[in-house]
Structures are given as structure tokens and as C-alpha cells.
Amino acid sequence: MIKKLLLLITLFFSIYSFSQNKIKYKKPNYKSIKKQTLNENSEFYYEKLLKKFNDKDAELSLKEKRHFYYGYRYQDAYSPNFGKDVFTDSIYTILNKEKLVQEDYKKIVELADKVLEKDIINLNVYNYQLYFLEQLNNEGDKYKLRSKQFKTLVGAILSSGSGRKLKDPFYVLLISHEYYILNMLGYEFGGTQQLIKKCDFLKVQENEDGIKGFYFDISPSLDYSNDLFKE
């Protein structure tokens, strides 16, 4: 039941935020993004973008969103193999309870803050927190900030490609984001995942749009893993 409810808010954000926006797709230029986000004199220096990202009243331009999301690849905190920790484990423990009460809602909101302090691109945790803030009728400053941050991250991914063709994939930093975007667009995973060059192809279940699946470029994850083996 909780899984279905969380999916509802995900679909709400996708429809509300992106369905009416005709974005010209542009794949990330990782070399340029690395240079810009690590340069203190650049308007896209990561610390500058992070400050804006954490300001509930500051909107990032589409270019800034792209530099923020893809620039995270070059931050020390980045790892494509984020494992569960005590806080995320605690969230899932609560979500697996047969029935939740208000104290559970508050605890999930609190735990989500702790996760996002160190894992700021965790789309699932944004989703959980936003949902339970709604259940608590607490749609104030925290909700406004998390909503903006969520849209910043997802907006960057959706602007990177259509995902319909190998030459026009979505570009993601984490494999978990593939499945999140898939569900967010209203499609269910069809059980088959295939690596083609540096892209994952995720087959989707039969749908009225006739879409067979989506392509996701996962080169940051692959390159990161390759670099580890070289050390």
C-alpha cells in the first residue's frame, strides 16, 4: 500500500512539473561540467550551485540544474554504489510496518533529513519525505525546499534525452535513478535489463504507448568502477 501511495506523489510531480515543458534535449558534456564545477571562478562552481540548491527561494536555471546534478559526479561524496546505512535501513523498517501512525511519519521525515545530508541526490528519499510531509499537513518551508530540490534533480535528467533511442538516452549518475525515472514516467519495469555499450536498456511492461523500453547512459557509474580497479 505504501509503495502505491509513494508512486502517486512521484507521478504527480512528473505530470505537474514536466509534461507541459518542451525541453530541447542536451546530453551532458562531462569534461566541461567537471572543469566548470571545480573552478572557483566559474558561475557553475559547485559550492555556489549547492548554496543555491539549498535555498528554498532560489531557483536554478536549467543550465545550473544540469551542472548541479552531473557535477555531483566530481564531488568526493559521489559513489555509484551507495549502500544502505543505519538511517536508510530505519526508513525501510518503518515502511515495512503493517500500519503507520503519525509518529512514524515524523520519524521518516527526520531520518530523511539525515540521509540527504550526505546523499543529496537520493531521489527515493526525497519522495518519501515529501509524501509524509503531506500526510502531516506540513507543506511549509521544508516541503518547499525539498520539492524544489527534487524537481532540480529530475529536471536535469529529463532534459538530457528522450530515452527512446540508444543515441538519445537519459543520462544518470546512479543506476537506481533508472528505475525511478521509469516509474515516474508511468511505466513498469518489464524484468529485462541489457547493457549496450555504456547504456542500460530497461524493457517495460506492455503499455498503450507501444513503448518497448528506455535507454539510460550510465557511463559515470562504469567509469567510476573502472577507475577503482585501476588503483
**What tens digit of pLDDT does each residue of 134-160 get?**
889 988 999 999 999 999 999 999 999
- Cα separation of 51 and 204, whole Å? 37
1-5, 39-43, 140-144, 199-203, range with the lowest pLDDT: 1-5
pLDDT at 15: 46
Banded pLDDT at 9 (limits 50, 70, 90) = low
Contact between residue 18 and residue 152 where contact means Cβ atoms under 8 Å apart: no
20 or 180: whose pLDDT is higher? 180
Per-residue cell: 224: 567510476
Predicted local distance difference test score (pLDDT) of residue 216: 98
**Cα-trace Rg, the chain:** 18
Query: How much of the chain exceeds pLDDT 70, in percent?
Result: 86
Q: Which residues, including other chains, have CB under 8 Å from residue 150's CB and lie 6 or more apart?
A: 13, 123, 126, 127, 130
The secondary structure of residue 37, as a DSSP letter, is H
CA 146 to chain centre: 12
Of 21-25, 43-47, 104-108, 113-117, minimum mean pLDDT range: 21-25
Amino acid at 108: I
What pLDDT was estimated at residue 3?
56
The Cα angle at residue 80 between residues 160 and 59, in degrees rounded to 5? 45
pLDDT at 19: 47
Range of the domain at 179: 2-15+22-230
Q: Is residue 215 within 8 Å of 162, Cβ to Cβ?
A: no
Mean pLDDT over 94-120 rounds to 92
Q: Give the torsion sign (CA, 19, 167, 31, 124).
A: positive
CA distances from 71 to 31, 123, 144, 146 (A): 10, 16, 23, 19
Structural domains counted in the chain: 1
Per-residue pLDDT band for 79 (boundaries 50, 70, 90) equals confident
Q: What is the residue whose three cell numbers read 526525497?
A: 126
pLDDT category at 20 given cuts 50, 70, 90 is very low
pLDDT of residue 36: 98
Q: Are 178 and 200 in contact (CB under 8 A)?
A: yes
Q: What is the pLDDT of residue 16?
A: 44
Q: Residue 183 pLDDT > 50, yes or no?
A: yes
Identity of the amino acid at 216: F
pLDDT at 2: 53
Cβ atoms of residues 47 and 8 within 8 Å: no
Banded model confidence at residue 24, pLDDT cuts 50, 70, 90: confident
